[in-house]
Amino acid sequence: MRLFRQLLLISLSFIAISASAQNVPRLGQEYTVLDRPQPVEAGKKVEITEFFGYFCPACNAFEPYLEAWIKKQGDRIVVKRVHVNFHELVTQQKLFYTLEAMGKVDEYQLKTFNAYHVDRNRLSTDAEVMKYVEKVGLDKKKFTDIYSSFAIQSKLSRAAQLMTDYKINGVPTVVIDGRFVVSPADLNAKSRNTSTDPANHAGLKVMDWIVDKVYQEKNSVKAAPAVTAATAASAATAAPAPTKKK
């Protein structure tokens, strides 16, 4: 009976180890690592860079999941977004970076996706962008001034450079800590997940694992050596006895 119990415990241990291993994302399959990691400025937090486009159906579908995931991460992460220049839709890029300059991305990100994918506003000309601006009630003069500024042109140049540095050839793509590259929409599609619960999103599970890994690396604290009774006694013996004042 004892031998049977021991064999049972060993079998259960192997099953637990196997299940744990299955939950670990595989390099080259669920994520990749950049040959040349890019610099990040997040300090002890984990930098998340999302490459996306308003024109992209997969980005549109992923956005609500991403927003819920960002809220769940709390102050562990810093999020950056880069609107890519696919299909030469520069007006969409300028729209995003103007919203970013106005501090309106969080408020208008889903609305802008809806403008393209639901309202069928292509946002492919300045006139279409301004039509959207008027519809959602943004300050048109302030928006126009920023939209046409040199600062936005600089943002477009910077976006092009980042796409090259991060080797972006599809969206949505998420880069974690300037190193780990995930294609969350592709992973979820391959998993055939039909759940609307962000906790079941295959791409976000991989992102969770990587963020946990990086956050622990950045915030690991070496424990100070424990002071035992023996070491305390040894220190007391070694210390010179106090001299009495005469």
Q: Look up residue 77 and give its DSSP letter.
A: E
pLDDT at 178: 98
pLDDT at 5: 54
pLDDT at 215: 98
pLDDT along the chain (246 residues), means of 10: 50 39 85 97 97 98 97 97 95 98 98 98 98 98 98 98 97 98 96 90 98 96 52 50 50
DSSP line for 163-176: HHHTT--SSSEEEE
Whole-model pTM? Answer: 0.82
pLDDT at 195: 87
Chain-centroid distance, C-alpha 181: 10
pLDDT at 7: 45
Label residue 214 exposed, middle or buried (CB < 10 Å: 0-12, 13-18, 19+). buried
| Residue 243 to residues 60, 82, 246, Cα–Cα distance (Å) | 78, 70, 9
pLDDT at 194: 87
pLDDT at 2: 56
